[in-house]
Amino acid sequence: MKFLNLMRKYNYTLHFVSIVLLVFISLNTTAQVRVDSPYSRYGLGDMNMTNNAMTEGMGGLSFSLNFSSRINSNNPASYAAIDSGSFVFDAAFTGLLLESKSFSGTSQSNYFNLGHLKVAMPITRWLRASVGLAPFSVIGYDIVGRTQKDSIGTVEYRYTGDGGLNKVYLGAGMKIIKNLYIGANASYIFGSAKYNRESNMPDQINVFKYRATNEVVVGSMYFDYGLQYKVRISNKKNDRINKKDPKFLKFGFVYANKQKLRSTLNQKGITFTTGNDDFEFIKDTIYKVDGEVDHVVIPTMFGGGLSYYHGNKWMIGADVRMQNWEQFEAFGYSDSLQSSVSYHLGGSYTYKRIDFRLGLRYFDSYLELNNHKINDYGISFGVGFPLRQNSLTVSHVDLGFEFGRKGTTQDNLIEQNYFKINLGITIRNTWFQRAKYN
């Protein structure tokens, strides 16, 4: 009877989580713009690292980390550390409060989205697998400019974009020898992005507005790989005799080769007018070209990390990630991007089963505009605590917060200050464990 009651409680929890996730999935499916960033106009948009709320609270530190009851898809080798009899469910939600500054003024925006859905489970005694859904990149911007032309007057330009790419991945990790893990993710990247360019001459009564639209639709496979190794640096016998916590070093490495994503380009140019309610009346279609098939090139990526563990009390670590964006290409055109490097430093301290986290992050980005590098940096902190547990189910809630800044207001550029919130829910259910009766 006790076993049945536990299973009922577990099923209720899963039903509740499923309903919440379905709501957020619906919201994300219908949302047109999930971010407000003029810099997402370049490359593939704002890239997503697929951090969970736990690693977000430590500056994005992740390459050397693995857990028995958490999922770290940034390094697929970490799957091998999942408990042999556990099924792990991980969901995350992300909120962003954004302030954009320019020479002409300040604006605010915000959004709240599903961050990811992941599950991990044992396949055999030596193999673990993970399946998940997460954003790969996001695009959302609305830029307006004006200029004066002789004999024409004012010409208004507007550049807008929305959409992005998502990924569904299947990953596997395994132990090669003691303390050495390897893994790989096979992801299907899919989604679309629209890029619009509009021009308008408000001083000319009989001139129509013009809009050119490029829509890129992506659907292709993408692969990345990982390795992790753990070294004990304290003497096992002395630790046992002196009742000291064991000390470990963990190393992590990730790699993804240069890859081509199969893509389709749809193009259209129209002239139109708008009514008082902004309803558009299309005058004419100037051109329309659908179905041009080519590739979007994702550049080579590699990174490494190191973390130091003082038992289960505290840890500290650092990551470096590099990507050669000079290799980027879309339908034969490059975006004049540069190689990028990101640095992550973070750690955690556990007190009475509650984890306190702190981290720093610096992204030397692939963008250089008006002779200024568009860098992104932030400081983060977080907390994680267990929920009420029983012999079969362990649940955790993680909160991560980050204050960050991207860009600059110099030379007509835009500076963005943001506050990011990450909420993570992890449920681990133990399989194949015989129930105990009182």
Sequence-distant (6+) residues with CB within 8 A of 433 are 85, 391, 392
Alpha helices, H only, 67-157: none
Handedness of CA 32, 33, 38, 44 (dihedral sign): negative
Beta strands (DSSP E) in 103-246 are 105-122, 127-149, 153-177, 180-200, 209-232
Sequence-distant (6+) residues with CB within 8 A of 172 are 76, 79, 123, 127, 128, 129, 130, 183, 184
Quote the pTM value: 0.86
What tens digit of pLDDT does each residue of 407-432 get? 988 888 899 999 999 999 998 887 65
Q: Which of 190, 143, 198 is nearest to 164 (CA)?
A: 190
What tens digit of pLDDT does each residue of 243-276 get? 788 899 999 999 999 999 999 999 999 998 887 7
What tens digit of pLDDT does each residue of 66-108 get? 988 889 999 999 999 998 878 899 999 999 999 988 887 888 8
Give the per-residue pLDDT at 355: 94
Ordered by where they begin, the domains of the chain are: 2-430 (2.40.160.60)
The type of residue at 32 is Q
